[in-house]
């Protein structure tokens, strides 16, 4: 009975989601081509960009992983709040710069920008392939997360494997028909549900289990104080989590820089109608982070109610409380909020992969170049990428978990090539590629030999510093050839570089 | 950067979340039941919003000043070619 009620609520909302995606793009289907689908025709206003970007950053991690980290470690999970706030500050400057550059040269993503900046089509394709390797694990994480939610709220009647499949099918179908505009619309529905459910749980759980906030927090401070500061529970000493202040600081810095060139963030930037919409967003987006305190606190509340969760089960800390204390229909609604928290980011991730391949990789095949076919090819790539992530979820789940460890730190290695490259003409192709290769190899070496964090410092940041040094040295030894020289790039600076002006 | 000193406000989150970390990583004093680290990070989030707003306001004034200067220049010297 419970299962039927919760599953019905869930199914109704999933159908409504796809319908909303279709409604968002009504009458725009035929025209627009790739730019309409991938960056919403560059016409989204400040409010839509806000919900979209908040939607991307607030993934199912917030319901599952954040509560799980809260349960296992406590305070270290707040690095998410720290890096996002710092990242929005960096984005205040970088967002409008990338937006203006893309608009001026009619570009739809960072691979496109790189190809334009260095005047090499193959470089765009290479970066697209590299970025896809780093993005696929995120799609798989979202599929897993949503599958777990579906299975949990159906009280186990839907198996995990079917849950994964439902996650894949809903999201792929949704993104193929609706594109970025549809994702922004569904983000509105999702934000209402997320704010509503987390706000409700923040009040309800302490009242239900602890007679209110005062007693809950008092117990937390009295009994679980090692969860309340860095490095968190079980952080110290040999074999500890290593999540101390140095890790917190370096990870926040690295992620704050990386998030501004993360392909999905850039998709949000490029969807904006004007640069001021992005600046206004940088003001208000940090406020959304306050919500992240809720799953962390609920994860810690679960320590008292359902002690002894280990491994992947700790990610269910929040849902155990929900299923335990609320009626079936409410479980269904909270499940919808969590599922949409997977659907929206997953849709944008897939959209970005599709756009990158359509524009930068498949366009190397001459017959795929013209407008309409490029969009169809991109949509096909979305289905292929989603299917690949689904197959890997079933077949080799651990491979992708390992890859996801290097996703952010690997993507960070594109920073010198993209950002420094857009500001500094002397930075040659050789220099940019040398730095990138050294950075990616170093990240892989450190992470896969389990040396991250290395001496308490984020391995990605260390690799980025080495990457930057290599880039600068090579740029000094072999600078970009000037227009007069043989093989030099004849375009003027204004064609190649981005401007950071207001 | 030289003409946009208000961009320095954007360093506020870095100072609050990262620079101050060694000094605020503590449970006591507990404020309204919350451990001090949480209170600090909540406060930092609020102040980040304020800092970003101050930056945006600075940029708005900057744009107005630029527009006014351009107009003044235009009245004295005639329209400027290619000035956006």
- Mutation pick from A46, A53, A75, A85 vs chain B, by most beta carbons of B within 10 Å, is A85
Average pLDDT over chain A, rounded to whole?
Answer: 84
CB < 8 Å to B41, chain A? 78, 81-82
pLDDT value at position B84?
39
C-beta of residue A106 within 8 angstroms of C-beta of residue A113: no
Mean pLDDT, rounded, for A473-495: 82
Alpha carbon distance B79, A161 (integer Å) = 68
Express each pLDDT in B1-54 by its tens digit: 557 888 899 999 999 999 999 898 888 888 888 899 999 999 999 999 999 999
CB < 8 Å to A291, chain B? none
Express each pLDDT in A70-126 by its tens digit: 888 888 888 888 998 999 999 999 999 999 999 999 888 899 999 999 999 899 999
Alpha carbon distance A221, B38 (integer Å) = 12
**CATH class of the domain whose range is A2-395:** mainly alpha
Element (H, E) at A485: none
Q: Which two tokens stand for residue A224?
A: 């679980």
Of B10, B38, B45, nearest to A89 by CB-CB distance is B10
Chain B CB within 8 Å of residue A228 CB = yes
* Residue of chain B with shortest Cα separation from A276: B56
ipTM above 0.90, yes or no: no
pLDDT value at position A502?
61
Q: What is the DSSP string of A318-333?
A: HHHHHHHHS-HHHHHH
Tell me what percent of the residues of chain A surpass a pLDDT of 70.
Answer: 92
Of B27, B48, B53, nearest to A228 by CB-CB distance is B27
C-beta of residue B4 within 8 angstroms of C-beta of residue B59: yes
Mean pLDDT, rounded, for A183-187: 82
Express each pLDDT in A223-234 by its tens digit: 888 888 878 787
CB < 8 Å to B66, chain A? 502
Comparing A446 with A311, which gets the higher pLDDT? A446
Task: Provide the pLDDT confidence category of residue A346 given band limits of 50, 70 and 90.
Answer: confident
pLDDT value at position A455?
80
Alpha carbon distance A383, A173 (integer Å) = 8
C-beta of residue A315 within 8 angstroms of C-beta of residue A27: no
* Residue of chain B with shortest Cα separation from A292: B42
Mean pLDDT, rounded, for A1-7: 84
Cβ neighbors of A461 (< 8 A, separation 6 or more) are A250, A251, A253, A254, A412
CB contact under 8 A, B26 and A229: yes
Express each pLDDT in A316-329 by its tens digit: 888 888 888 888 88
Range(s) within chain A of domains with CATH label 1.20.1730.10: 2-395
- A44 has which bridge partners? A272
CB contact under 8 A, A279 and B45: no
pLDDT value at position B82?
44
């Amino acid at each position: 009975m419970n299962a039927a009620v919760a599953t019905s609520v869930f199914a109704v909302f999933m159908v409504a989601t796809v319908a909303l995606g279709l409604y968002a793009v009504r009458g725009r289907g035929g025209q627009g081509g790739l730019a309409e689908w991938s960056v919403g025709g560059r016409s989204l206003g400040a409010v839509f960009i806000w919900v979209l970007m908040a939607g991307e950053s607030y993934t199912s991690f917030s319901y599952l992983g954040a509560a799980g980290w809260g349960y296992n470690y406590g305070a270290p999970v707040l690095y998410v709040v720290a890096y996002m706030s710092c990242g929005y500050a960096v984005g205040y400057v970088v967002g409008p710069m990338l937006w203006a550059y893309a608009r001026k040269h009619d570009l739809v993503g960072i691979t496109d920008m790189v190809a334009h900046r260095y005047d090499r089509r193959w470089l765009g394709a290479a970066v697209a392939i590299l970025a896809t390797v780093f993005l696929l694990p995120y799609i798989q994480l979202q599929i897993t997360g949503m599958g777990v939610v579906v299975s949990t709220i159906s009280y186990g009647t839907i198996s995990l494997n079917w849950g994964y499949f439902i996650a894949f099918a809903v999201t792929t179908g949704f993104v193929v028909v609706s594109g970025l505009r549809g994702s922004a619309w569904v983000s509105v529905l999702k934000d209402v549900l997320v704010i509503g459910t987390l706000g409700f749980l923040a009040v309800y759980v302490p009242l239900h289990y602890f007679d209110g906030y005062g007693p809950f927090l008092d117990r937390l401070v009295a009994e679980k104080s090692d969860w309340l500061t860095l490095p968190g529970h079980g952080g110290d000493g040999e074999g500890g989590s290593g999540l101390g202040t140095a890790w917190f600081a370096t990870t926040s810095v690295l992620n704050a820089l990386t998030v501004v060139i993360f392909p999905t963030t850039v998709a949000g930037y490029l969807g904006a109608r004007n640069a001021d919409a992005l600046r206004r967003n940088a003001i208000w987006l940090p406020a959304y982070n306050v919500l992240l305190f809720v799953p962390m606190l609920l994860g810690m509340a679960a320590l008292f109610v359902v002690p002894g969760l280990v491994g992947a089960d700790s990610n269910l800390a929040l849902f155990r409380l929900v299923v335990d204390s609320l009626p079936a229909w409410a479980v269904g609604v909270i499940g919808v909020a969590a599922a949409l928290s997977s659907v929206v980011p997953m849709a944008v991730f897939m959209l970005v992969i599709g756009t990158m391949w359509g524009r930068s990789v498949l366009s190397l095949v001459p017959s795929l170049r013209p407008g309409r076919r490029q969009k169809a090819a991109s949509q096909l790539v979305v289905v292929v990428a989603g299917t690949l992530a689904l197959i890997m979820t079933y077949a080799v789940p651990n491979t992708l978990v390992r890859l996801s460890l290097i996703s952010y730190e690997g993507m960070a290695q594109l920073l010198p090539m993209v950002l420094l490259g857009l500001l500094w003409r002397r930075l040659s192709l050789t220099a940019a590629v040398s730095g990138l290769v050294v950075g990616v190899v170093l990240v892989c070496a450190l992470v896969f030999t389990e040396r991250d964090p290395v001496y308490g410092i984020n391995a990605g940041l260390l690799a980025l510093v080495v990457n930057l040094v290599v880039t600068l040295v090579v740029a000094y030894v072999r600078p970009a050839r000037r227009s007069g020289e043989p093989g030099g790039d004849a375009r003027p600076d204004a064609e190649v570089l981005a401007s950071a002006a207001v | 950067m030289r003409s946009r000193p208000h961009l320095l406000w954007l360093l506020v989150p870095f100072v609050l979340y990262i620079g101050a970390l060694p000094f605020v990583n503590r449970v006591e004093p507990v404020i309204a039941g919350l451990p001090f680290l949480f209170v600090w990070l909540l406060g930092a989030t609020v102040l980040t919003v304020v800092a970003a707003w101050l930056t945006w306001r600075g940029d708005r004034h900057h744009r107005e000043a630029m527009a006014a200067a351009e107009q003044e220049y235009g009245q004295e010297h005639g329209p400027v070619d290619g000035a956006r």
